[in-house]
Structures are given as structure tokens and as C-alpha cells.
Amino acid sequence: MIPLGLAEATTEQGLNLFRFVPGYTTHVARAGKEPLILLLLAFLIAFALTRLYTRLARIYGWGSGNVHGVHLHHMVIGIILALIAGATAIAATPGSPWIELLAIAFGVGAALTLDEFALWLYFRDVYWTEEGRSSIDAMLIGIAFAALLLVGTSPFGVEQAEHEFPRTIAFAVISFNVVLALVTFLKGRLMLGLVSIFLPPVGLICAVRLAKPHSPWARWSYDEAKVERSHRRFDERDRRLEELKHRFYDLIGGRPSDEQPSTAPVDVVGGYLTVSGEADGDGRQRG
């Protein structure tokens, strides 16, 4: 049972867990951002602990968790946590301290799920391969998204447009900002595209600049001369950035293995979900 004084405090300004941090009470707790900051912290801590465990398991050969002989990926636990926390928050709209606890549960679930993003992207266990690094990409995008929400920037400048312009003009401004973000994504600037959702001027700058040579925008609209100019601008820079990225990812997630994943890829054949290479007695693939 929560004491009366604590109940009143949590109702007014959340748990205010980090009240010793200057400005936390005013700019976070009273502004209603404490659940989001707890979600982000839970996300970061769960990700760090998960990667620590998997790297130690890789070094020392620890076995994976399984239920009745079926390998239980930590993504499964993450999905269950995120679904329960999200559904409860929507259905019950609880006050403090329950909303903070649900935020922590959702953050942990999201971290466990995104840590195996490559598994549900490639339909096979590529955790320690080069493809598995897409999980780290997903984690970084998730962190950036939560951080942008935390600073209070509205997507596509929605709040600012609605306050400063009539409805028709505001709709046009928001639509224009959406187009800028989409163009940024199509030009191969994924992280800047995410930032432009919250900071439209970033999208405006990217929209008028040269696209990356292998981006959809370059394939669809650039002639040979412009593609060559894009290669000259980006290839050397991207090579250096890629080297730094690989070192950073090695630090976070470990060095990828040269071995191919043992799990066969999943495919759809004849309308059925099948595992390539598995066949029944008459040579047909099993679903």
C-alpha cells in the first residue's frame, strides 16, 4: 500500500526518481516525461545486459534457453513483455507508479525484441553474422527515436504548424514535412530521415543535396553523370565511415563470425511457409 504522501506526490509529478539531478523535477517529472525516460533507461540497460550475456555465452559456449527442445529466442520474451505493457497502458491508462512500471517493462521488451531484429528481417538466425548487425542499426534507431521524443519535439512540426497557421495551411505544411522526410529516406539517409521527422529543416537540407549512389532516389532519377558525381562524393567518405561503424559495432555487439548460420532460411512456397532444404518422402518441401 502506497503511503498517502507518496501517493499525492506520484499523482502530481510521477515518481520523481532522479530528483537529485538539477532540473529533473521541473523539466522531466512535472512535464510528464518520466515514463519515457524510464523506458529509454530500461531499453539501454536491457540491451547492454543482453549483449553482455550473449557475448559471454559465445566465448564460454553456454547453451541457449529452450522449451521442450525448441530454442527460445529472447525476442519471444521481448515481444510478450512489450505487448502486455503496451496493451495494459492503452486499456487501463493507469496513473503513477503503474505507468512508470509499464514503461520499464515496455523498454525491456523492446530491447530484447530489437536485439534480434535481424532474425525477423532475414527469417533465420544470423545473430553473429554480418547480416546480424542490422539488429544494432535497429537498436540505434530506437534509441534516437526515444531521445527525440524525450526532448519534446513534435513529429513533422505538427504542434507548431497547428498553433501558427490556419488548418488548411497547417495541413499543407505538415504534408510538405512528410514529403521531406520521405525524400531523405529515399536518398539513403536513414538516420537523418528519422531526425527530419522531428526536425523538418534537416529534411529540407537533405532533400536538396545529392543522394547516395545506391539509394532508390539515385536509381530512379539520376543519369549516369550524376550517379558518377554521387560516387565521387560518397564512396571514399562512406568507406571511412563504414570502417568506423564496423569498429563501433564490434565494440557493442562483438565481431561477426565467418561461419554461415546453421538454421536454414524460411521461404514461402506454394502459399505455405517452408524451410529450404527440408523435404518429405516424395521430394516435396514440408510446410
Query: Cα separation of 76 and 70, whole Å?
Result: 12
- To the nearest whole number, what is the mean pLDDT of the chain? 81
How many CB atoms lie under 10 A from the CB of residue 24?
Answer: 18
Q: Which tens digits make up the pLDDT trace of 207-256?
A: 899 988 888 898 888 888 898 988 888 888 878 887 888 888 888 888 88
31/24 Cα distance (integer angstroms): 9
Q: Rounded to whole angstroms, what are the CA distances from 61 to 54, 57, 64, 252?
A: 10, 5, 9, 19
156 and 178 in contact (C-beta within 8 Å)? yes
**pLDDT recorded at residue 215:** 87
What pLDDT, on a 0 to 100 scale, did the predictor assign at position 287? 34
Q: Give dist(CA 65, CA 71) in Å, integer.
A: 6
Rounded mean pLDDT of 58-85?
A: 84
Separation between Cα atoms, residue 137 and residue 252, nearest integer Å: 11
The 10 Å Cβ neighbour count of residue 234 is: 19
pLDDT per position as a tens digit, 30-58: 888 899 999 999 999 999 999 999 988 88
Residues of the chain with pLDDT > 70: what percent?
Answer: 83
If we measure between CA atoms, which residue out of 80, 79, 82 comes closest to residue 103? 82
At residue 141 the predicted structure's pLDDT band, cuts being 50, 70 and 90, is confident
pTM over 0.75: no
Span 101-121, average pLDDT: 93
Which residues are within 8 A (CB) of 197 and not within 5 positions of it... i.e. 6 or more apart? 148, 155, 156, 181, 203
Q: How high is the pLDDT of residue 170? A: 78
pLDDT band at 61 (very low <50, low <70, confident <90, very high): confident
Q: With 70 as the cut, is the pLDDT of residue 75 above it?
A: yes
**Contact, 116 vs 74, CB < 8 A?**
yes
pLDDT band at 279 (very low <50, low <70, confident <90, very high): very low
pLDDT above 50: residue 10: no
Q: How confident is residue 7, by pLDDT bands cut at 50, 70 and 90?
A: very low
CA gap 213, 223 in Å, rounded: 11
Helix (H) or strand (E) holding 13: helix 4-13
Q: What is the pLDDT of residue 12?
A: 55
From 17-21, 22-26, 103-107, 160-164, the region with the lowest mean pLDDT: 160-164
Q: What is the mean pLDDT of residues 11-32?
A: 82
Is the confidence at residue 263, as pLDDT, over 60? no
